[in-house]
């Protein structure tokens, strides 16, 4: 029986670029910015990297196809580089590739890097898929955008639990207010202004019932990690080693969109998180998870995710949210770095950016945002749409804990 | 005896009050005020001659077996494809058998509807076909502040011809064909070009229709007084009355031209008016229908006892009752691309249509045909290779399953202001069908603010996209939430 990934791989170093509208920097510059920080943090030389994984999604409007953009921008040593793309989980998928490669014993030291350059298209929101959605989907799929796709969840959620949409909206507003308060403390975040509940509730409608401030920013950015075995990390003189406790991925199989689903949850998140807790040896996530970076592409996504991660009870996320359970001073602080809400969502970079915050927090290096003695940090990505999606869940903590 | 087995109609839901046109445009051409009575039916932005034809065809085929059709004839002057059989799209949307079907477009002339009907009846009488569906549909664009903008409406109607269960027997026809041109639309031109009204009225409608009807009566030995209703188009209401006078017709026996509640639906209009007449017909009634355009076809029908038990379709009355006031002239102008509004860069995305993909998936796209598992009985859409029921696992053991006609309801929805749309917000959602199956669909003909989870929906064949670069119109089905019973 598989023994899982727990404590088999250590994070040797991490780096994260400043996220934002990086009008004067291309994806190559963003990658190098994150990579240089990461390499210095790892304390190794570039030639020690034996393999790399690149996560990026909208390659057609930025780097182009294959893993060559990473190998060439970073001037890697003609090593194996693989490009992965799995919607919003792309960054975590790159990490999973590097982690599994080290765990398998195939390589000693591997790099995972994610990048996305979104602000080269001339309009707000994510790029249109165009031919990238496939020749059949283009013939029939609804004229859907990301906010619209997730907005539907709010109608499904309110209907399932018989909760008035105004209350759901209020809880959603608190999600954004809380993230902005955190993002304001983070020099690498894109949006650094606190907002009020009133501002969120009164923001212009993007996709009913999501207003502008229920939507995350759209930014450029890159983040990366260098991973190795705990033994090598020790041999390199690392102390307080941060290790991978769980890495899970779950994908829709067509059930939600075509068979049976209540429209008020992500069945993938529900499954991936349970598997992750098992892999990490966590029995009561509501008590044991110290902090989370979840996929708050839209406030409603975060709200529903609190239940799918089995931290809030079904139908009770609005209550927990409004009670401040997920605030910076709450029981399980969520989006402590500001989240997608304030960092924006350069698709390929997001998963690694979330891990970067967990890594900083676990090492006590999170500055003004530092939480007291965090133990387990959970990250979560949700790609695609509620009715067909890709979900990744990762848990990191202190090696041996 | 061959005749009409069923009829159906479709008048789009939006109505434009003619006074609204006057309020907006009379400053430019005050003459339009003279014909500003009532309202005209206008197609939604996602409708065209083909989509409306499909709606009328489904209405007509309600309760009739589509699999028994030997062909579909489509008559229109506003077909989206100059070289690709438009009737073939309608036939595919009806999911009729491909083998043995004779489908054809009858185009380029407003009387092509009756010409198609004669061709269908000829085929049936010659024993070459048993059941032929003839659909007429038009959605003509007009320039702003013109008489044509005032007169023209959008709509479609369908007639099912056959030999069994005939509700109106065919009693003969007569055609007059001549190159009389009162208006024309050159190839590739957007709008009709018409000669002065006196010419159209007096030398056109006013002379040719009576002449053709006279020819029919002479040929058949029937008298005009034999007919309970005489049906002919003419959007000049005065001339419409004068024709009756010329024919010696009692005004009560003239089918109204529907100017006040619909407008002239072009090629569809003789059928629309005939369908409206059939809705009120009694056994034994004789109906005379004439068309107009480079001549005139005249057809006579006699209503049979079968009409008493005929389970009427939604028809013209039904669709006329289902209406919403389009109280915004700019919106109408944008729907018709008469004004330039920015769709944004997001709306620039232009992908060609993969003809191979479309061919492989034609049943799914046009007919909304999914699959039903032979093992577990679960229906699904789009068609999967492996059963969607996780507890089943059947591989390729499915029957085709038509979702059109199934009851459904809204499971979740949104109105999306970010999506590039001619009529924002783009409303869409997940729709679940009674008996199983669910899918994501665009919604249409609805106000997002009135949509609710759990609301019943109906399905409608609509334009999914228009590829202006290459001249290709893509179609798919959309859901219409049934707000307050359809209004």
Which residue from A128, A141, A159 is facing B346, i.e. has the nearest CB?
Answer: A128
Pair B394, B430 in one domain: no
CB atoms within 10 A of CB A334: 28
Question: Alpha-carbon distance A66 to B131, whole Å?
Answer: 57
Please identify which residue in the block is written with the tokens 């049934």. B482
Which segment of A162-176, A179-193, A296-310, B303-317 scores lowest on mean pLDDT? B303-317
A144 chain-B contacts, CB cut-off 8 A? 416, 419, 426, 428, 440
In the predicted model, what is the mean pLDDT of residues B115-136? 98
Query: Are A152 and B412 an interchain contact pair (Cβ–Cβ within 8 Å)?
Result: yes
CA–CA min distance B351, chain A (Å): 6
Pair B417, B389 in one domain: no
Q: What percent of chain B has pLDDT over 90?
A: 96
Give B201-248 as a DSSP string: IIIIIHHHHHHHHHHHHHHH---GGG-SEEE---S-HHHHHHHHHHHT
Q: Which residues contact B284 (CB under 8 A, 6 or more apart)?
A: B302, B303
Query: Are A153 and B346 an interchain contact pair (Cβ–Cβ within 8 Å)?
Result: no
B346 chain-A contacts, CB cut-off 8 A? 123, 125, 128
Residue B359 lies in a domain: no
Stated as kind and residue range, the H or E segment containing A302 is helix A299-308
Which residue from B349, B378, B388 is facing A128, i.e. has the nearest CB?
Answer: B349
Query: Are B349 and A208 an interchain contact pair (Cβ–Cβ within 8 Å)?
Result: no
Q: Which residues pair with A220 in a beta bridge?
A: A20
Nearest-CA residue of chain B relative to A259? B437
In the predicted model, what is the mean pLDDT of residues A176-198? 98
Is A137 in the B-facing interface, judged by CB distances under 8 Å?
no
In the predicted model, what is the mean pLDDT of residues B309-335? 94
Is B31 in the A-facing interface, judged by CB distances under 8 Å?
no
Interface test with A, best of B382, B384, B414 (most A CBs within 10 A): B414
* Residues A192, A86 contacting (CB under 8 angstroms): no
CA–CA min distance A211, chain B (Å): 10
Q: Residue A79: left (phi > 0), alpha (psi -120 to 50), or beta? A: beta
CA–CA min distance A121, chain B (Å): 9
Domain boundaries, chain A: 10-125+220-242, 146-216+244-398
Pair B99, B239 in one domain: yes
Which residue from B357, B412, B476 is facing A153, i.e. has the nearest CB?
Answer: B412
Closest CA to B432 of A147, A138, A159: A159
- CATH code given to domain A146-216+244-398: 3.40.47.10
Q: How confident is the model at residue B487 (pLDDT cuts 50, 70, 90)?
A: very low
The parent domain of residue B444 ranges over: 407-487
Pair B310, B386 in one domain: no
Q: Which of A174, A190, A295, A345 is the catalytic position?
A: A345
Question: Alpha-carbon distance A344 to A383, whole Å?
Answer: 14
Interface test with B, best of A138, A140, A250 (most B CBs within 10 A): A140
In A197-226, the residues whose Cβ lies within 8 Å of chain B are 204-210
Between strands B324-325 and B14-17, the pairing is parallel
Which residue from A139, A140, A205 is facing B417, i.e. has the nearest CB?
Answer: A205
Query: Are B361 and A153 an interchain contact pair (Cβ–Cβ within 8 Å)?
Result: no
Which ipTM did the prediction report? 0.95
Reported as a single tens digit per residue, the pLDDT across A139-151 is 999 999 999 999 9
Query: Are B418 and A206 an interchain contact pair (Cβ–Cβ within 8 Å)?
Result: yes
Residue B445 lies in a domain: yes
**A345 has catalytic annotation:** yes
Give the model's pLDDT for residue B486.
45
Between strands A289-293 and B39-42, the pairing is unpaired
Reported as a single tens digit per residue, the pLDDT across B441-473 is 999 999 999 999 999 999 999 999 999 999 999
Reported as a single tens digit per residue, the pLDDT across A252-303 is 999 999 999 999 999 999 999 999 999 999 999 999 999 999 999 999 999 9
Nearest-CA residue of chain B relative to A121? B345
Nearest-CA residue of chain B relative to A263? B412
pLDDT greater at residue B483 or residue A373: A373
Rg of chain A, C-alpha, whole Å: 20
Closest CA to B48 of B78, B81, B77: B78
Nearest-CA residue of chain B relative to A205? B417
Residue B353 lies in a domain: no
Residue B348 lies in a domain: no
pLDDT at B427 over 80: yes
Nearest-CA residue of chain A relative to B426? A143
Pair B228, B261 in one domain: yes
Reported as a single tens digit per residue, the pLDDT across B165-192 is 999 999 999 999 999 999 999 999 999 9
**DSSP assignment, residue A331?**
S
Question: Alpha-carbon distance A53 to A43, whole Å?
Answer: 20
Give A107-132 as a DSSP string: -SEEEEEEEE--TTSSSSSSPP-GGG
Pair B424, B325 in one domain: no
Q: Would you state the structure tokens that stand for residue B318, as one six-digit string?
A: 């039904």
Q: Which of A16, A38, A57, A88 is the catalytic position?
A: A88
Pair B11, B65 in one domain: yes
Pair B304, B427 in one domain: no
Give the model's pLDDT for residue A358.
98
Task: Produce one character per residue of B243-282: b if its CB has 16 or more CB atoms within 10 Å, e if not.
Answer: bbebbebeeebbbebbbebbbbbbbbbbbbbbbbbbbebe
Which residue from B380, B381, B430 is facing A387, i.e. has the nearest CB?
Answer: B430
Closest CA to B11 of B256, B234, B276, B192: B276
Nearest-CA residue of chain A relative to B455? A159
CA–CA min distance A80, chain B (Å): 35
B442 chain-A contacts, CB cut-off 8 A? 142-143
Question: Alpha-carbon distance B66 to B97, whole Å?
Answer: 9
Provide the number of structural domains found in chain B.
3
Interface test with B, best of A133, A136, A139, A150 (most B CBs within 10 A): A139
Average pLDDT of chain B, as a whole number: 96
Question: Alpha-carbon distance B476 to B248, whole Å?
Answer: 48
Is B368 in the A-facing interface, judged by CB distances under 8 Å?
no
In the predicted model, what is the mean pLDDT of residues B27-37? 98
Hey, is B474 helix, strand or coil?
strand
CATH code of the domain containing B29:
3.40.47.10
CA atoms A19, A25, A31, A36: torsion sign:
negative
In A242-301, the residues whose Cβ lies within 8 Å of chain B are 253-255, 257-259, 263
* Residues A156, A162 contacting (CB under 8 angstroms): no
Is B351 in the A-facing interface, judged by CB distances under 8 Å?
yes
Beta strands across the sheet bearing B379-380:
B379-380, B369-373, B398-402
**Of the residues B335, B355, B377, the one at which a domain ends:** B335
Residue B436 lies in a domain: yes
Reported as a single tens digit per residue, the pLDDT across B379-417 is 999 999 999 999 999 999 999 999 999 999 999 999 999
CA–CA min distance B438, chain A (Å): 5
Question: Alpha-carbon distance B75 to B114, whole Å?
Answer: 9
CA–CA min distance B79, chain A (Å): 20
Pair B174, B298 in one domain: yes
Asked whether this chain's domains A10-125+220-242 and A146-216+244-398 adopt the same fold, the reply is yes
Helix, strand and coil in chain A, % to nearest 5: 40, 20, 40
Q: Which residues contact B274 (CB under 8 A, 6 or more apart)?
A: B7, B157, B159, B231, B255, B287, B289
Give B340-391 as a DSSP string: -----GGGG------HHHHHHTHHHHHH-EEEEETTT--EESSPPSB-SSTT
Closest CA to B35 of B197, B181, B182: B197
A10-125+220-242 placed in CATH 3.40.47.10: yes
A123 chain-B contacts, CB cut-off 8 A? 344-346
Q: How confident is the model at residue A1 (pLDDT cuts 50, 70, 90)?
A: confident
Question: Alpha-carbon distance B55 to B237, whole Å?
Answer: 28
Pair B419, B398 in one domain: no
Burial of A144 from C-beta contacts in 10 A (0-12 / 13-18 / 19+):
buried
A122 chain-B contacts, CB cut-off 8 A? 345
Which residue from A131, A147, A387 is facing B418, i.e. has the nearest CB?
Answer: A147
In the predicted model, what is the mean pLDDT of residues A182-210? 98
pLDDT at A396 over 90: yes
Interface test with A, best of B349, B440, B461, B475 (most A CBs within 10 A): B440
Is A153 in the B-facing interface, judged by CB distances under 8 Å?
yes
Question: Alpha-carbon distance B208 to B373, whole Å?
Answer: 58
Q: How confident is the model at residue A30 (pLDDT cuts 50, 70, 90)?
A: very high
In the predicted model, what is the mean pLDDT of residues A104-116? 98
Stated as kind and residue range, the H or E segment containing B296 is strand B295-303
Query: Are A135 and B419 an interchain contact pair (Cβ–Cβ within 8 Å)?
Result: no
Give me the total of CB pairs closer than 8 Å, taking one residue from chain A and one from chain B.
141
């Amino acid at each position: 029986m598989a023994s899982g990934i727990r404590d088999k791989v250590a994070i040797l170093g991490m780096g994260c670029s400043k996220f934002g509208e990086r009008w004067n920097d291309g994806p190559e510059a963003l990658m190098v910015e994150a990579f240089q920080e990461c390499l210095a943090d790892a304390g190794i030389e570039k030639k020690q990297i034996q393999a790399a994984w690149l996560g990026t999604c909208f390659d057609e409007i930025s780097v182009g196809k294959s893993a060559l953009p990473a190998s060439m921008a970073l001037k890697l040593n003609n090593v194996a580089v693989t490009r992965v793309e799995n919607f919003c989980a792309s960054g975590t998928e790159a990490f999973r590739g590097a982690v599994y490669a080290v765990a398998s014993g195939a390589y000693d030291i591997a790099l995972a890097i994610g990048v996305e350059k979104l602000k080269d298209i001339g309009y707000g929101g994510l790029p249109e898929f165009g031919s990238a959605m496939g020749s059949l989907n283009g013939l029939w799929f609804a004229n859907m955008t990301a906010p619209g796709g997730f907005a539907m969840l709010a109608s499904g959620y309110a209907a399932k639990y018989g909760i008035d949409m105004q209350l759901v909206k209020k809880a959603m507003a608190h999600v954004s207010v809380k993230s902005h308060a955190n993002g304001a403390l983070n020099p690498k975040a894109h949006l650094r202004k606190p907002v009020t509940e009133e501002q969120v509730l009164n923001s212009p409608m993007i996709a009913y019932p999501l207003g502008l401030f229920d939507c995350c920013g759209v930014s450029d950015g890159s983040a990366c990690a260098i991973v190795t075995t705990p033994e090598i990390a020790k041999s390199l003189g690392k102390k307080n080693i941060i290790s991978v406790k769980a890495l899970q991925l779950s994908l829709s199989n067509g059930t939600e969109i075509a068979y049976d689903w209540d429209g008020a949850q992500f069945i993938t998140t529900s499954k991936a998180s349970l598997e992750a807790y098992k892999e990490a040896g966590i029995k009561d996530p509501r008590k044991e998870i110290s902090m989370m970076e979840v996929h708050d592409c839209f406030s409603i996504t975060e709200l529903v995710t609190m239940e799918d991660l089995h931290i809030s009870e079904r139908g009770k996320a609005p209550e927990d949210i409004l009670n401040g359970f997920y605030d910076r001073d709450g029981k399980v602080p969520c989006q402590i770095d500001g989240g997608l809400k304030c960092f924006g969502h350069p698709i390929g970079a997001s998963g690694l950016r979330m891990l970067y915050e967990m890594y900083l927090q676990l090492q006590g290096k999170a500055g003004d945002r530092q939480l007291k003695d965090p133990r387990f940090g959970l990250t979560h990505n949700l790609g695609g749409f509620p009715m067909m999606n890709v979900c990744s869940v990762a848990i990191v903590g202190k090696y041996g804990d | 005896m061959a005749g009409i087995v069923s009829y159906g109609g479709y008048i789009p839901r939006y109505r434009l009050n003619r006074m609204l046109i006057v309020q907006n445009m009379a400053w430019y051409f005050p003459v339009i005020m003279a014909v500003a009575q009532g309202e005209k039916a206008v197609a939604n932005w996602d409708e065209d001659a083909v989509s409306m034809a499909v709606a009328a065809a489904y209405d007509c085929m309600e309760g009739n077996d589509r699999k028994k059709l030997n062909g579909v004839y489509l008559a229109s002057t506003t077909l989206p494809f100059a070289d690709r059989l438009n009737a073939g799209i309608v036939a595919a949307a009806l999911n009729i058998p491909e083998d043995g079907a004779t489908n054809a477009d009858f185009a380029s002339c407003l009387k092509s509807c009756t010409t198609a009907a004669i061709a269908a009846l000829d085929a049936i009488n010659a024993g070459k076909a048993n059941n032929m569906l003839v659909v007429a549909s038009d959605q003509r664009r007009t320039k702003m502040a013109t008489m044509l903008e005032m007169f023209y409406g959008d709509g479609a109607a369908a007639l099912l011809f056959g030999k069994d269960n005939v509700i109106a027997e065919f009693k003969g026809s007569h055609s007059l064909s001549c190159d009389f041109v009162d208006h024309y639309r050159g190839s590739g031109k957007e709008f009709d070009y018409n000669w002065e009204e006196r010419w159209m009225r007096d030398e056109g409608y006013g002379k040719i229709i009576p002449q053709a009807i006279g020819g029919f009566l002479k040929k058949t030995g029937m008298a005009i007084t034999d007919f309970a209703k005489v049906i002919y188009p003419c959007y000049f209401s005065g001339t419409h009355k004068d024709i009756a006078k010329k024919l010696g017709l009692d005004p009560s026996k003239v089918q109204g031209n529907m100017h006040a509640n619909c407008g002239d639906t072009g090629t569809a209009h003789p059928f629309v008016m005939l369908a409206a007449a059939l809705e009120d017909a009694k056994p034994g009634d004789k109906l005379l229908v004439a068309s107009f355009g480079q001549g005139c076809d005249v057809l006579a029908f006699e209503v049979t006892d079968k009409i008493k038990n005929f389970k009427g379709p939604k028809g013209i009355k039904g669709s006329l009752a289902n209406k919403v006031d389009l109280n915004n002239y700019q919106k109408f102008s944008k729907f018709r691309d008469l004004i330039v509004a920015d769709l944004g860069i997001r709306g620039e995305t232009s992908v060609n249509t993969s003809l191979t993909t479309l061919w492989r998936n034609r049943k799914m796209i046009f007919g909304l045909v999914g699959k039903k598992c032979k093992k577990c009985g679960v229906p699904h859409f789009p068609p999967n290779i492996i059963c969607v029921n996780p507890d089943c696992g059947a591989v390729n053991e499915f029957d085709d399953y038509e979702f059109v006609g199934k009851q459904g309801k809204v499971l979740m929805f949104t109105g999306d202001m970010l999506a590039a749309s001619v009529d924002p917000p783009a409303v869409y959602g997940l729709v679940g069908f009674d008996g199983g199956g669910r899918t994501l669909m665009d919604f249409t003909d609805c106000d997002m603010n009135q949509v609710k989870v759990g609301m019943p929906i109906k399905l409608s064949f609509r334009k999914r996209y228009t590829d202006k670069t290459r001249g290709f119109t893509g179609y798919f089905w959309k859901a219409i939430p049934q707000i307050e019973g359809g209004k």
